[in-house]
Amino acid sequence: MRIIRDYQFVNETDRGASAAIGNFDGVHLGHQSVIDMARGAAPDAPLGIVTFEPHPREFFAPDTAPFRLTNADTRAHRLEKLGVQRLYELPFNATLSGLTPRRFAQDVLADGLGLRHVVVGADFCFGKARAGTARDLQGFGAEMGFGVTIAPLLQTDDAQVSSTSIRNALSDGRPRDAAAMLGHWHRIDGPVIGGDQRGRGLGFPTANMSLDGLHPPKFGVYAVLIDVLEGPHKGSYHGAASVGVRPMFGVNKPNIETFIFDFSGDLYGTNLSIALVEFLRPEEKYDSVEALVAQIDRDCARCREILAAP
């Protein structure tokens, strides 16, 4: 997959794509449906995605609480696995956000990227002040020489599939409901960072990872699947993870600490992918370290049962 970040300087080989447009946060089933429509609209064209970095909400409200399900690297990795060949990851800045809907369609989609076909969701808005609608884009496409397909919003039995619905499920401690909308487990990806090694002292050494910039799941203990993505320990494992601020040990920045079952090795700096499978319990503060260790033992036994189930 090729990543193109400047719509004003695009190689001829990167033009002519059939592309889906959106933020693709989480790359959920609705996004996957839109991508499949782009694939089918012009099967002989490169399959593309037009997205934005940073997320427009981060640009307009930089002090907003972290809300993203995936960072840019994770999003790109998941899109590549879906067969995307051209990722147009456009810098979202004052210039881009100031384009009128017509100018966005002409300057970016038609003249800049030279798209052959575009697929957007029914709720798609674009251009300055989000003034353009999906129907407007169809009109611009007919005028400017690219096709436009409007994809209906995807619905599950329980909810409309959206990044917001997935965030709500994670905030409520319902990772299986989030997975049903994502089409895969919700994962937290990133490098293992240095910690205070309290877990090691308790007999449960953990791989610590940052939650910076990401929507935090409900704080507490989870059964998790772990993929070590590189290095001598590369592979898949089972484990238990604690998401939160570790109330037994003062005021701390939220992170995720993962204890990998039946594992021994140094993972500092190694990139991991942690899949949240089931929420066990909220974070708690115990009267003693011994009580905490006993609870961790029970948590790990329960996680092993959950992950062993078919």
Whether 143 is a known active-site residue: answer no
Q: Are residues 224 and 113 in the same domain?
A: no
Q: What does the pLDDT look like over 93-130, one tens digit per residue?
A: 999 999 999 999 999 999 999 999 999 998 899 999 99
- Report CA-CA distances (Å) from 129 to 60, 100, 165, 172, 299: 11, 8, 24, 32, 49
pLDDT at 197 over 70: no
* DSSP-based three-state secondary structure for 80: helix
Query: Do 170 and 142 fall within a single domain?
Result: no
| Model confidence at 145: pLDDT above 90 | yes
Residues 105 and 48 in one domain: yes
Give pLDDT, residue 159.
Answer: 65
Range of the domain at 176: 163-308
Last residue of a domain, one of 151, 186, 206: 151
DSSP symbols for 243-284: EE--GGGSS---EEEEEETT--S--TT-EEEEEEEEEEE---
Last residue of a domain, one of 151, 176, 203: 151
* Catalytic residue (choose from 143, 230, 257, 283): 257
pLDDT of residue 153: 79
The two tokens of residue 291 are 């009580």
Going by C-alpha positions, the residue among 166, 170, 171, 205 that lies closest to residue 296 is 205
Domain count, the chain: 2
C-alpha–C-alpha distance, residues 135 and 138, integer Å = 5
Looking at 107, 127, 151, the residue that finishes a domain is: 151
Query: What's residue 10's pLDDT?
Result: 96
CATH code for the domain of 125: 3.40.50.620
In 3D space, the residue among 270, 181, 168, 281 whose CA is nearest the CA of residue 216 turns out to be 168
Q: Which token pair is 303?
A: 């996680």
The single-letter code of the amino acid at 72 is A
Residues 101/132, Cβ–Cβ less than 8 Å: yes
Cα(189)–Cα(25) distance, integer angstroms? 14
Question: 29-43, 44-58, 78-92, 195-209 — which is least confidently predicted?
Answer: 195-209
18 versus 64: the higher-pLDDT residue is 18
